[in-house]
Amino acid sequence: MKSYMIFTGILAAFLILSACTLQGKPTSTTASTPTSSSAPPQMGIDPTPYRLSWFLNEQGERTYPLADTEITLAFIENRIAGSSGCNRYSAEAQMEGGRLQVGAIETTLMACAEALMAQEAAYLRALETATSYEITNQSLTISNSEGKIVLAFAKISPPPLAGTGWTLTAYNSPNRGFLNVLTGSVITLEFEDDGKLTGSTGCNTFTASYQVDGEKIQIRSLVSTRNNCNAPGGLMEQEEAYLRSLQEATRYAVEGEMLHLYDLHGNHLAEFRANR
């Protein structure tokens, strides 16, 4: 049952959260509602996402992403969207004959480490200068009005849903919004080919059954062990929210090396990173 969905529709849920290491910060789960574009649909643009290889900083220096961070970009109809290393972003984009015009960039409001936030700001500033793009077999470059390449990306081959080990990076707390996983806790999930799901909450292990149909997903019959763990503080509350999110999931998306779960109303429930 190995599958992954193409990214059309991911903007309706327009999440938030990604790759942050700072835990326990309440965050916005959505940015302002994007306005619809009057431009005609862009044809022939592969929705497969790209991972940033390097960017040109304001001093004109080639800069590489920080270790253990991932910055992505995907073309989705008349928009671009992706992860800026900490937050999710989206913008209207007009693409024609190699020309690229990026509209106002909307982001979510997660807070991450200072260095990560500085990198995110520099990336988005470079993206705002885009006037042209070029796509080859496995790469994407974006240039400014002077013809200088300011962003260089490599195409991402998303991992399959089943058979990949996933580690939770952020989850939805009913009372506190979208949160990063507590420091010192490791939350896992794995979909098996036979429709079985297993994982760990950092305290207990669990099993369930699942079904997928395109981008739709149903997780049922979840059974967990019943250990009570005191460390780190808040672990049991995190476990409760995580297991609830799994059972409320109705849609999933694999973007790059990230797995996202959404509920029936498009609310972002959980985000995972593939174990590579």
pLDDT, one tens digit per residue, over 209-267 is 999 999 999 999 999 999 999 989 999 999 999 999 999 999 998 887 889 999 999 88
How confident is the model at residue 29, as a pLDDT?
A: 35
- pLDDT category at 180 given cuts 50, 70, 90 is confident
Average pLDDT score over the chain: 83
Q: Residue 3 pLDDT more than 90?
A: no
Within-domain flag for 65: yes
**Domain limits for position 19:** 10-155
Same domain? For 146 and 101 the reply is yes
Same domain? For 179 and 269 the reply is yes
Domains in the chain, number? 2
Within-domain flag for 160: no
Percentage of the chain with pLDDT > 90? 61
For the chain, the DSSP string reads ------STTHHHH-----S----S----S--SPPPPP-SPPPPS-----EEEEEEE-TTS-EEPPPTT--BEEEEETTEEEEEBSSSEEEEEEEEETTEEEE-PPEE------HHHHHHHHHHHHHHHT--EEEE-SSEEEEE-TTS-EEEEEEE--PPPSBT-EEEEEEEEETTTEEEEPPTT---EEEE-TTSEEEEE-SS-EEEEEEEEETTEEEEEEEEE------SSTTHHHHHHHHHHHHHH--EEEEETTEEEEE-TT--EEEEEEE--
Q: What is the mean pLDDT of residues 104-117?
A: 90
Q: Residue 208 pLDDT more than 90?
A: yes
Within-domain flag for 2: no
Least confident of 29-38, 46-55, 111-120, 243-252: 29-38
Q: Which residue has the tokens 């700001």?
A: 121
How confident is the model at residue 108, as a pLDDT?
A: 85
Residue 92 bridge partners (DSSP): 79
Same domain? For 150 and 178 the reply is no
Same domain? For 151 and 14 the reply is yes
Question: Phi-psi category of 142—alpha, beta or left, where left has phi over 0 and alpha has psi -120 to 50?
Answer: beta
How confident is the model at residue 156, as a pLDDT?
A: 85
Q: What is the mean pLDDT of residues 192-205?
A: 96
Within-domain flag for 138: yes
- pLDDT category at 46 given cuts 50, 70, 90 is low
Q: What is the pTM of this model?
A: 0.59
Same domain? For 121 and 256 the reply is no
Residue 178 bridge partners (DSSP): 172
Question: Phi-psi category of 57—alpha, beta or left, where left has phi over 0 and alpha has psi -120 to 50?
Answer: beta
Asked if the peptide bond before residue 47 counts as cis, ω within 30 degrees of 0, the response is no
What is the rounded CA–CA span in Å between residue 160 and residue 207? 20
Going by C-alpha positions, the residue among 228, 256, 276, 237 that lies closest to residue 84 is 256
pLDDT in tens, 14-45: 333 333 333 333 333 333 333 333 333 344 45
Same domain? For 136 and 178 the reply is no
Within-domain flag for 4: no
Same domain? For 98 and 207 the reply is no
Same domain? For 105 and 228 the reply is no
What is the rounded CA–CA span in Å between residue 256 and residue 254? 6
Same domain? For 55 and 114 the reply is yes
How confident is the model at residue 47, as a pLDDT?
A: 67
CATH number, domain containing residue 118: 2.40.128.270
What is the rounded CA–CA span in Å between residue 209 and residue 46? 33
